Chain A
């Protein structure tokens, strides 16, 4: 039984980590009033750049490679999301159109570049340095709990959880967060108070690019180990759902992402659970998504997005 719980928790954490980062990214963007359906594409670029960086620097950086690659993935996400910010803030593009463009562009661009780098092959080599299992010193010695949560576990997941609490603090307890939220709720009022609306929106979108890029980088280095068109398949959309599910609150988004991670891992390990091995796998695969809908209907009801979300703010002269 304990063994089973250990497997469930560790695989949940592995699958959740990318979702948590990306969902937090989405939260920053949408708190500033910019819808970001492009998270999926941002994850693709993050995964691609992290994977390539990892392959070319593993010899030099050794065990640090995946961590440095996270930053590279994040920075690529920033560059990529810059287009979204430019389009939605200054060029008055529809947020959903711009996000869709990111999703259309990213896989094409990433696979195109992969072909350029890897001799016209559509996938990269397999990375050598990936996020392995991590055990917390001292904590792993705690009986039962140590085995479940702190031994042979996923380090990026714990970083993600930490970032979630940090994001909560930033959004709700700092001046920057207050301004970000003000811009998302009522940009006119924020403008009147002397807040630079455009700058805050850029900040929100670029942070979402950074965290979304990290999300993709985590995924490629802990789950798939090589980049191809099949590396990111809908995780960005799930992260978006987690953000809405968590009501645009970083802690809520994190909990929802953990739930989706659990659900995804159940699809993989469900058949190993004693007594349930005869349940057809389709039930395990479908359950999380149906459950999300049911929970949403029964317990959450209307999700209230930031008021001015999706609207282009045009500063009057």
Chain B
């Protein structure tokens, strides 16, 4: 076994164990039975094919927003606007789907998917452009843009796509990402073709970041913008590029919610959850495409499984506490690494 790989896996695995332990302690202290709680969760995630389908359904858009966060992060940007970019893709996909409901499926689906990705990319590109051109903090700009698209989206639902209703009509079959086969094998879950988009994105981003010149430039700008500039790379071009790719990925995440999961657009109180959750997934996966896949599925298990916990009388919010603690331990991995090295030393002493 590769020793480096084992070392890289140690921190996330230990973090997950610690997170679950902490959740158990919280349940114990609050007078709940953690074994009952976690069995309800596992049952809720794997008990029936339907639940398994929902786990992967929930994980698919998270993969995309997480990839979006990690691409921007690699290039040195903190893209806090994933949620807004996802919503942008969502709005665009539904608008297109409602505008041309009768186009042939292949054509309409392609238009909606590409349109959504483009919308997210352009939206994030604004923040990249302003940063590159004027040095404006991408953190503020993306936060502000989150609110702009939230209100625009709600306005679209009420005044453009419907007449004063709180949700649009369902999209036609021609624009739907649902695949009858996937629904059949998962007992009628909302699992949809988006999972293939997510898997394809993992491969594409992996190749892009690790094997291409563009990826190399993005990484080197992230590590040292001045040196990269000196080496003849345009840092402003890379800033915009990184944000556009990140936004397009997040936009795709929104497209999956639009055409796969919900099949409509509705009035929201806050920007979609997949934004901030995607950030957390990326952090847990350490920005690595495969790590992101695994942690998105873990999120799916925790969140979908958590929905069954109230059935055992335990508030489902415990899941959020567990997720947050897992990310906390990943973030404070220095402590875990320190503990590992201490344990190793002790065991070596023991052998002597």
Q: Given that A93-B332, A292-B144, A297-B136 are contacting pairs, would A286 and B151 also be in contact in the complex, using a CB cutoff of 8 Å?
A: yes
Q: Given that A108-B324, A293-B130, A301-B134 are contacting pairs, would A241 and B144 also be in contact in the complex, using a CB cutoff of 8 Å?
A: yes
User: Closest CB of chain B to A232's CB: distance in Å?
Assistant: 10
Q: For the complex, what is the distance from the CA of A93 to the CA of B92, rounded to whole Å?
A: 38
Q: For the complex, what is the distance from the CA of A159 to the CA of B298, rounded to whole Å?
A: 46
B135–A97 touching, CB < 8 Å: no
Stretch at the interface among A112-120, A138-146, A214-222, A269-277: A112-120
Q: Which of B145, B280, B335 contacts A104 (CB 8 A)?
A: B280
Q: Given that A237-B143, A244-B140, A292-B140 are contacting pairs, would A108 and B319 also be in contact in the complex, using a CB cutoff of 8 Å?
A: yes
User: Closest CB of chain A to B267's CB: distance in Å?
Assistant: 12
- Interface membership of B330, Cβ < 8 A: yes
B151–A111 touching, CB < 8 Å: no
Q: Which of B137, B147, B155, B283 contacts A234 (CB 8 A)?
A: B147
B332–A87 touching, CB < 8 Å: yes
Q: Which of B78, B276, B317, B323 contacts A96 (CB 8 A)?
A: B78
- Interface membership of A240, Cβ < 8 A: yes
A310 closest partner in B (C-beta): B78
* Interface 0/1 of A168-182, CB less than 8 Å to B: 000000000000000
A303 closest partner in B (C-beta): B137
- Which residues of chain B are near A108, meaning CB under 8 Å? 317-321, 323-324
- Which residues of chain A are near B315, meaning CB under 8 Å? 111-112, 115-116, 120
Interface of A is mostly: helix
A301–B151 touching, CB < 8 Å: no
- Which residues of chain A are near B270, meaning CB under 8 Å? 233-234
B156 closest partner in A (C-beta): A282
Chain A's interface size range is 35 or more
Q: Which of A101, A116, A300 contacts B30 (CB 8 A)?
A: A116
B144–A289 touching, CB < 8 Å: yes
- Interface membership of B10, Cβ < 8 A: no
- Interface membership of A68, Cβ < 8 A: no
- Interface membership of A285, Cβ < 8 A: yes
- Which residues of chain B are near A93, meaning CB under 8 Å? 328, 331-334
Q: Given that A103-B276, A105-B321, A282-B152 are contacting pairs, would A293 and B136 also be in contact in the complex, using a CB cutoff of 8 Å?
A: yes
Q: Which of A105, A111, A240, A293 contacts B324 (CB 8 A)?
A: A105
Q: Which of B269, B320, B323, B325 contacts A233 (CB 8 A)?
A: B269
- Interface membership of A245, Cβ < 8 A: yes
Interface of B is mostly: helix
User: Closest CB of chain B to A47's CB: distance in Å?
Assistant: 15
A112–B317 touching, CB < 8 Å: yes
Q: Given that A91-B334, A103-B276, A234-B270 are contacting pairs, would A297 and B134 also be in contact in the complex, using a CB cutoff of 8 Å?
A: yes
- Interface membership of A94, Cβ < 8 A: yes
Q: For the complex, what is the distance from the CA of A238 to the CA of B150, rounded to whole Å?
A: 14
Q: Which of A87, A245, A280, A292 contacts B159 (CB 8 A)?
A: A280
Q: For the complex, what is the distance from the CA of A301 to the CA of B136, rounded to whole Å?
A: 6
Q: For the complex, what is the distance from the CA of A90 to the CA of B192, rounded to whole Å?
A: 45
Q: Which of A37, A100, A104, A115 contacts B320 (CB 8 A)?
A: A104
B141–A296 touching, CB < 8 Å: yes
A282–B151 touching, CB < 8 Å: yes
User: Which A residues from 298 to 313 make CB contacts under 8 A with B?
Assistant: 300-303
- Interface membership of A199, Cβ < 8 A: no
Q: For the complex, what is the distance from the CA of A301 to the CA of B133, rounded to whole Å?
A: 10
B27 closest partner in A (C-beta): A112
B147 closest partner in A (C-beta): A289
User: Closest CB of chain B to A63's CB: distance in Å?
Assistant: 32
Q: For the complex, what is the distance from the CA of A33 to the CA of B325, rounded to whole Å?
A: 24
Central interface residue in A94, A289, A290, by most chain B CB within 10 Å: A289
* Interface 0/1 of B182-217, CB less than 8 Å to A: 000000000000000000000000000000000000
Central interface residue in B80, B136, B152, by most chain A CB within 10 Å: B136
- Which residues of chain A are near B334, meaning CB under 8 Å? 91-93
B320–A241 touching, CB < 8 Å: no
A97–B283 touching, CB < 8 Å: yes
- Interface membership of B148, Cβ < 8 A: yes
- Interface membership of A184, Cβ < 8 A: no
- Interface membership of A268, Cβ < 8 A: no
B310 closest partner in A (C-beta): A120
A111–B139 touching, CB < 8 Å: no
Q: For the complex, what is the distance from the CA of A7 to the CA of B334, rounded to whole Å?
A: 52
Q: Given that A87-B332, A91-B334, A289-B144 are contacting pairs, would A302 and B327 also be in contact in the complex, using a CB cutoff of 8 Å?
A: no
- Interface membership of A74, Cβ < 8 A: no
Q: For the complex, what is the distance from the CA of A248 to the CA of B148, rounded to whole Å?
A: 24
Q: For the complex, what is the distance from the CA of A309 to the CA of B50, rounded to whole Å?
A: 47
A96 closest partner in B (C-beta): B78
- Which residues of chain A are near B279, meaning CB under 8 Å? 100
User: Closest CB of chain A to B292's CB: distance in Å?
Assistant: 15
User: Which A residues from 4 to 30 make CB contacts under 8 A with B?
Assistant: none
B324–A104 touching, CB < 8 Å: yes
A92-B332, A105-B328, A241-B140 known; 6 new pairs, CB 8 Å cut-off, are A97-B331, A98-B331, A104-B327, A108-B319, A116-B315, A282-B155
Binding site for A on B (CB under 8 A): 26, 30, 78, 80, 130, 134-137, 139-141, 143-148, 151-152, 154-155, 159, 269-270, 276, 279-280, 283, 315, 317-321, 323-325, 327-328, 330-335
**6 residue pairs A–B, Cβ–Cβ below 8 Å:** A93-B331, A109-B320, A234-B147, A281-B155, A290-B148, A297-B136
A-B complex: 10 closest residue pairs judged by Cβ atoms: A108-B320, A302-B135, A105-B324, A97-B331, A282-B155, A104-B324, A93-B331, A92-B334, A91-B332, A112-B317
Binding site for B on A (CB under 8 A): 37, 83, 87, 91-94, 96-98, 100-105, 107-109, 111-112, 115-116, 120, 230, 233-234, 237-238, 240-241, 244-245, 280-282, 285-286, 289-290, 292-293, 296-297, 300-303
